[in-house]
Chains A and B, each alone.
Chain A
């Protein structure tokens, strides 16, 4: 016992023990499932996993010939291109107005943050009802002021923008709050010096605030990018991929292949692997760009 304690008593060894719970959780719930998904993608496996047959890369070949999968990649890309820039830059602009710790700003921060703590299901159902083509509140108001009856959730070409807006509305607050925290960390002396030199607020923002919070900017950009590429909940609740699959994201499609209709865990895993590679590539590129800038 003494020998064991002595062995683990060194700070460099003891650290592993403290890391162990997190590492085990990470292994159990992230690394192992990831490895399992890679493995499963090479097999034909039903939902109960009671029969397994090796199919090699057949699932991947099938995915690249599957119109719905290719369409889902396009939808996801479009969603990401709309949601991420608006989120990253929009939240930055809003945050720059909310940095002072006065009552109004605290209230507004709480208001912006409120959708973040609401469940996606509740948010989705709420928007679904107020944007309903016939009985929706917003639809009725727009009709009353003469804009006609807009079918927000059932018009191919329009609905993806609506879904992007809902997703943005829901997660915008968290980005804004992170920016506010980052901006508040910027040394006040820098702004004082700039003011003495005659720099206006806009100039201060671009020359002091923006460069100072660059790591935060990259963090939000990368996490939002990865999040947008994995969008599922809001789409699943509001449109379930419709109308005519114009909002069917990759994860929504993967879910339907894995858990409903003709369930095929192998095929769903293969599509997950493809999505993983895409997210990985985008993240690595961004990471390199960030390091280069630093």
Chain B
């Protein structure tokens, strides 16, 4: 009898702890929310003030949560910098960072459940997906010592919708051309003179290819949608543009896109470009003459000791452009005013020089090879001394920064994730002619534009 009673008690405890475990949430600054009091003041009516409103007094310790997906080596650096902020700041702010490889799912689930972090770090295109959950942070320049004029305006535009600013830039991701200088020399080409046009690219690719050594001149991957998008944009401009207030897809009858697809097909058929998804590994192995990629490509090349050069992607018929993706800090609607201010202070710290003339933003650029988004960092001697960063910052700052679609088009993810991969795959593997691939891409893009 006694044993049974104990068993029942234990089972009940297990069940209760299960519920507690499932329902438990971490106590951060949310703990200070004045849910109950506001309800009491309203005579028990449900509180209508924005979620996250709290009563933390100025000067009280504040904990803010910060989610992102920087799982690589750069994530270690980000962790170190956040730890440094937690130690150094005198405002009583603690930043609790959560780096997740499944950041997107984590975020969408949290928002769907009516919760979320104080601050996130994500591509500015997230404003299209999570726009309802991001706060307008235009007042960040009024409430902090950050100087708006120091930020490159085109990057701020990328983070805005009309007058509303949703992200403060953190990292500018452009794509660049990389060439293997040793392979250039071996092929009798000038290692300091990379191609400046796509005709030269095709010509050099042929000269660089050496089948006996498994070396390919050109390294364009059918599986890198972003790489393809950056290149095809040079040939045929933006895939979606604003035509008098409505979105227009520009795949069909786009001579530039057709020219790019024909060039790619020819390079593959001639054996000057591998039919391979993973060309970055080949570049690191010294078996690719020229490729196009983000700043992270340099990590593999440096580790492997490849003697390489960096330059801007050759321009095509679409003219001068500085297509980039901007990643930034954003404050979510789950944050209270106090938490929002704490997040502002962290962002300010990130972009503020210390006594030695350095800042986390500068350190980040130098360590990870991402070009700066403020003039003050670009002017630093350490920044200028970096050949990599100088090459990346050589793009015309006045050139349009839109990447593959008009920067206000909310369907960018669908264009990059679905339309472009289907188009390039069908051409690469010969299941469609270039014309058919463009016609299909147009139909798919028309469906997307119709949704917005």
Contacts and interface: CB of A to CB of B under 8 A. Distances in A.
B184 to A, nearest CB: 19
Nearest to B17: A21
Interface string A30-62: 000000000000000011111000000000000
B12 to A, nearest CB: 7
A242 B425 contact: yes
B287 A134 contact: yes
Interface in B101-152: 104-105, 108, 111-112, 129-130, 132-133
Contacts of A28: 22
Given A132-B281, A239-B277, A262-B414, A18 B425 contact: no
A47 B8 CA distance: 42
Given A149-B214, A260-B104, A262-B418, A245 B276 contact: no
Interface in A253-271: 256, 259-263
B394 interface: no
Nearest to B19: A24
B274 interface: yes
Residue in B7, B108, B287, B426 with the greatest tally of chain A CB atoms within 10 Å: B108
B18 A134 contact: no
B223 A242 contact: yes
Interface string A123-136: 00000110011110
B434 interface: no
Contacts of A122: none
A240 interface: yes
B18 A25 contact: yes
Contact of A261 (B108, B278, B418): B418
A239 B7 CA distance: 51
Contact of B112 (A8, A25, A48, A135): A48
What is the predominant secondary structure among interface residues of chain A facing chain B? loop
A14 interface: yes
Interface string B343-359: 00000000000000000
B413 A154 contact: no
A97 to B, nearest CB: 38
A14 B287 contact: no
A169 B105 CA distance: 30
B277 A154 contact: yes
Interface in A45-98: 46-50
A151 interface: yes
Given A47-B129, A244-B431, A133 B276 contact: yes
A257 B277 CA distance: 21
B277 A135 contact: no
B73 interface: no
A20 B5 contact: no
A256 B417 contact: yes
B338 interface: no
Interface residues of B, number: 47
Contacts of A263: 108, 129, 413
B223 A21 contact: no
Contact of A243 (B130, B133, B274, B277): B277
Contacts of B418: 261-262
Contacts of A174: none
A201 to B, nearest CB: 46
Contacts of A115: none
A262 B18 contact: no
B31 interface: no
A239 B133 CA distance: 34
A129 B132 CA distance: 42
A21 B278 contact: no
Contacts of A156: 429
B367 interface: no
A181 B377 CA distance: 66
Given A20-B15, A260-B417, A262-B414, A133 B133 contact: no
Contacts of B428: 243-244
A38 to B, nearest CB: 18
A262 B277 contact: no
A118 B321 CA distance: 46
A17 interface: yes
Nearest to A17: B11
Interface in B213-244: 214, 216, 222-223
A105 interface: no
A285 interface: no
A185 interface: no
Contacts of A244: 425-426, 428-429, 431
| Chain A to chain B: the 10 pairs with minimum beta-carbon distance, closest first | A261-B417, A262-B414, A49-B112, A244-B429, A244-B425, A47-B108, A17-B11, A135-B285, A48-B111, A261-B413
Given A50-B111, A132-B281, A263-B108, 15 more contacts: A14-B4, A14-B8, A21-B11, A46-B129, A129-B281, A132-B278, A132-B282, A134-B214, A134-B287, A135-B282, A240-B223, A242-B222, A242-B425, A243-B222, A260-B413
8 contacts: A20-B15, A134-B276, A135-B285, A154-B276, A256-B417, A259-B108, A262-B417, A263-B108
